[in-house]
Each structure stands twice: as C-alpha cells, then as structure tokens.
A = this chain, B = another copy of it.
Amino acid sequence: MTRVSSFSVPIRVYMEDTDAGGIVYYVNYLKFMERARSEWLRCHSLNQQALLLENTQLVVYRLTCHYAKPARLDDDLTVTAEVTDLGRCRATFDQTVEREGELLCSATVEIACLNATSMKPKQWPTQVFKVFNISDS
C-alpha cells in the first residue's frame, strides 16, 4: 500500500548517509526530513537564508522518531512533510521516510520561529498564515 501525503521529496542514499552497520545512520533520517521541510517552506515562499538575514531563525524544539526498517546505500526514498498544527510562533510537522511505499521511519517534529538574536519566539512571516488561511492579526 502506498501512503498518501500532501508533500514529498525524493532522496537518494549516498555513502555519506550510511554507517558501519551497512544501513543509513539513524540521525541522517532527520537530515532527510529537514530537507523535506526546507522544500515545503520554499514552496510556501519561505527561504531560510532570507529569514536569517531578517534575524529570524527556525529551530527544532521537540521531536519524536520511530524507526521501523533500515534504508541502505543507493536506496531511493520518498520523504514527506505535512503541517498538522500551526501556532503563531511554531508549527508541528508529521513526516515519514518511505521506500517504494513501505514505511521506514516516521517522526513528529515541532519547530519554533525565533528572533535569532534573543532566541525568543517570533511570529511567523505573514505568508505562512495565508497558506493556512489563518488571520495573523
């Protein structure tokens, strides 16, 4: 059964992603998931380099990850990202890593939008609210 998700990116496994156990090193799935979140942000006109220049920084403040099956060198993976909750200064992403429709890894990743200097919460840029048809006033 192929799972359905609103947003996904393809990611190929390279040698850099693997470990001596012959599988993808477990923390690297979290890098794959951030790539998917970055592309989701890009699709919604949020460029993180531009945000940094505006003194806005997105940080992960909580994550839960469950590993079901390992990926291996040269695998072609599909990494999904779906926003399941959006606050004024934070968002929750549900994410999966799949290989040919088989679930390898799933995670819930909570990110905060911060003032990069003070590291205090800062409201999302306006376009994020527009995407979700939420008023930012």
Contacts and interface: CB of A to CB of B under 8 A. Distances in A.
* Interface class of chain A by DSSP: mixed
In the complex, the count of this chain's copies comes to: 4
Interface in A16-67: 16, 18-23, 25-28, 30-31, 34-35, 38, 42, 47-50, 52, 57, 59-67
A1 B31 CA distance: 33
Interface size range of chain A in the complex: 35 or more
Contacts of A116: 21-22
A83 to B, nearest CB: 18
Contact of A27 (B27, B69, B70): B27
Contacts of A73: 20, 48-49, 52
Contacts of A65: 62-64
A72 interface: yes
Interface of A: 14-16, 18-23, 25-28, 30-31, 34-35, 38, 42, 47-50, 52, 57, 59-70, 72-74, 116, 119
